[in-house]
Amino acid sequence: MDDGKYPILAREGWWHMMLATSAAVAVHYFAGPAWALPFWIALVFIVQFFRDPPRRIPDAPGAVICPADGKVIALGEVEDPYLKRPAQRVSVFMNVFNVHSNRSPVAGIVKQAWYSKGRFINASFDKSSLDNERNALWIRTDAGQDIVVVQVAGLMARRILCYVQSGGRMARGERYGFIRFGSRVDVYLPRDAHFEVTLGDSVKGGADVIARFAPTAQEK
């Protein structure tokens, strides 16, 4: 499945880009190119940060799709702090050069959403999963698997955007949120899920498969 019908620049960046462009043009016109150079550099940074390229969504049964671009920094069994169960967790860290659009790892119904205020420590630290500002979604697939995907703010992140609420339905790979300026996304899976990535892997949101459900629990 291809989600190419979407602006190449995330809507969250339109205002920032217009403001930066206006400032760069004004300084360039009134003060000259040398003074305007930092403003043009800022514009380039804004465009690359808010870029949101289309992705080809894998259509394999039982596949769990990566929710964000970045690097796999945590992988293993943990206690799911939201559903209070043993779970498998995959954590993806996004630096300022990664695409920051977030995507649903599975298709299903949003059963519940949690927003928690918190700190803004480095998102690569494991304790940031529970200490930092975050937004979590509990998604139940049509096959009955329960997945929790958590947007976690980072050292520079100061705003988590989420566009779905309890009761909403999401398609696999659908864009559902955005985190500004460095962060992480945690995915809590049932214990019978099998990882398809390893620590240190570079992954792409909406394009790479990070886990699969056991054959007996695959999506129909």
User: How would you class 173 by CB atoms within 10 Å of its CB: exposed for 0-12, middle for 13-18, buried for 19 or more?
Assistant: buried
Residues with Cβ within 8 Å of residue 198, at least 6 apart in sequence: 72, 75
CA distance 220 to 2: 21
CA distance 55 to 117: 31
DSSP codes joined into one string, 176-190: EEEE-SSEEEEEEE-
* Residues noted as catalytic: 183
Provide the 10 A C-beta neighbour count for residue 4: 9
CA distance 66 to 135: 17
> Phi, psi (5° rounding) for residue 141?
-75, 170
CA distance 12 to 20: 14
CA distance 220 to 209: 18
| Residue 111: strand, helix, or coil | strand
